[in-house]
Amino acid sequence: MSVTRRILLTISLLLLALAGAAAWVLLSSGDPAYRLGELAAFGRYDAYNSEITAVAARHGVDPLLLKSIIWQESRFQPDKLGAHGERGLMQVTEPAAQDWVAAENIETFSPADLLDPKTNIEVGAWYLAQALRHWASQEDPLPFALGEYNAGRSRVKRWAGGLQMSADELNRAMDIPSTKAYVASVRGRYDYYRTPRAKAP
């Protein structure tokens, strides 16, 4: 065998070994599609971990839940603009931000501030914390709060009808398929982040 063929064979074997190792890492992660997206994002998925942790502690919410919402809303793109005026990492609307401004006595605020990651996470976490507190009497307040985050409190109140209900009952009462999918997706990502294989913020 010539030297050139040996070199090519060695390179081929190394590439095959690297491909096998990469496949093993992806498959053992529990969510290969997520890991591929994370690799393609070149560190963006973890870029805001310190902000998420600090803001979550201030508002008494799980940082993994905040990260799950950010993943769902923007895939960690701080400059994302939604079709209905949502902005930033947590896709916060201007009315939600104005509620935060009033409640927290913020002296200066512009909607453009929602493109700042720290401000956006702050407002989104505040809004989520309000929703979790509002639905705290439910056996599992999380799907109610996520439904509110996506579709607004008035819709969730209509679905709940002032009753105590399970997550399954709420799911059946929801008449907006995209909100059903949203709640399921965020909860699925939240469950994934809480597994030992996933990296926590």
Range of the domain at 164: 32-193
pLDDT average, residue stretch 24-35: 68
Whole-number pLDDT of residue 28? 54
Structure tokens at 87: 């902005």
CB 166 within 8 A of CB 174: no
In this predicted structure, the answer to whether residue 23 has a pLDDT above a threshold of 60 is no
> Has residue 24 been placed in a domain?
yes
CB 176 within 8 A of CB 54: no
Clarify whether residues 124 and 84 are in a common domain.
yes
Whole-number pLDDT of residue 151? 97
Of the candidates 105, 25, 41, 127, the residue with the CA atom closest to the CA atom of residue 78: 41
**Phi then psi dihedrals of residue 92, to 5 deg:** -80, 135
Ramachandran quadrant class, 87 (left: phi over 0; alpha: psi -120 to 50; beta: rest): beta
Query: What is this structure's pTM?
Result: 0.85
What is the overall mean pLDDT for the chain? Answer: 90
> Has residue 198 been placed in a domain?
no
| 3: confidence class by pLDDT, cuts 50, 70, 90 | confident
Clarify whether residues 3 and 99 are in a common domain.
no
Question: How far does the chain reach from its first CA to its final CA, in angstroms?
Answer: 52
